[in-house]
Amino acid sequence: MAGRPVRARRDCSSAANGARQLGPGDGLRVEVFGQLVEAHARSGGRFVRLGDLVPVVRRLTDRVVKLTLRAAAHAGKPSHCGARCAGCAACCRYLVPLSAPEAFALARDLAALPAGRRKQLQAACRAASRRVLEAVRRLPPADGDAAAWRSYAELRIDCPFLVAGRCAIYDRRPLACRTYHVVSDPAYCLRGGAAGSERLAMPFSPVQALCRLAAELEGSPPQAVLLALAPDWAAGNAERAGRRYPLRSALRRLEEIIRERVAALTDAAQQAA
């Protein structure tokens, strides 16, 4: 399936799409730490847009994070991050990549907010995106993802959704935020994520999984978008956001991608041990 675009259907009403009640077979399942983790899709039709896949991935990710945190604590590496992001908010100044499906879902979430709140957050995104783009032009070429992450952290640009020290979209926050937990001395976070900090090692990256799925469905290279730029980027890609794909086949392929990644990381960990 890789590299081949799947025939997309244009956005239309749920009745025209043959809306139906989903059964328990429509969801994602993955085995981590010897336990089967499941999350059921809650879509009402046989065809979905890319953004429609994000909620089920969020639910799966949250459940996998809980198991991973438990395993890390058992290994003597408990998380130092506070509940509901009520801690230092240092990671709210780090680079946050979104998959295309997440960018589309975020734009839709913002559109559903009351007008005043929506305009406030959209303005914050545009202000942050201007700072990001100006700063990125001055950054030296980064040698790999880790160097890029450190360079961005040093800019100290607040997340546009950080309001009064708390996340304004916590329940619908990006997947990268959901998986980010520090299991080393939190003092490193306060110094801008300097070398020495250790993050929770997830069994797979849900962001990368969605990036890969979107690329396969669209027949395009994998693509990620910075959080602050995501609303305007999604608005500029409205046609892509409206394309529809078969729900069951999309979920099956996403599950395969996740399982492949879990297996690869498990093998790498065993070889390292």
> For residue 11, is it within any domain?
no
The predicted pLDDT at position 95 comes to 82
Which domain, by its residues, includes 222? Answer: 27-272
Q: From CA 108, how far away is CA 127, in angstroms rounded?
A: 20
**Residue 236, domain member (yes or no):** yes
Q: What is the pLDDT of residue 13?
A: 35
Asked if residue 17 belongs to a domain, the reply is no
Return the pLDDT at 106: 97
If one counts the domains in the chain, the total is 1
Is residue 15, in this structure, part of any structural domain at all? no
Report if residue 35 sits inside a domain.
yes
Please name the residues in contact with 99: beta carbons below 8 A apart, sequence gap of 6 or more: 175, 207, 208, 210, 211, 214, 223, 224, 225
Residue 177 lies in a domain: yes
Cα gap 216→242, rounded to integer Å:
17
Query: In this structure, is residue 107 part of a structural domain?
Result: yes
- Whether residue 106 is contained in a domain is answered as yes
Residues with Cβ < 8 Å from 132, sequence gap 6 or more?
155, 157, 226, 228, 229
- In this prediction, residue 10 carries a pLDDT of 42
Residue reference for tokens 């058992």: 74
Q: What is the pLDDT along the chain (273 residues), one digit of tens a residue?
A: 444 444 444 443 333 344 344 344 479 999 999 999 999 998 767 899 999 999 999 999 999 999 999 999 999 998 878 655 556 787 888 889 999 999 999 999 999 999 999 999 999 999 988 888 887 777 666 555 555 666 676 777 889 999 988 899 999 999 999 999 888 877 777 665 555 678 899 999 999 999 999 999 999 999 999 999 999 999 999 999 999 999 999 999 999 999 999 998 877 767 776
* pTM reported for the whole predicted model: 0.84
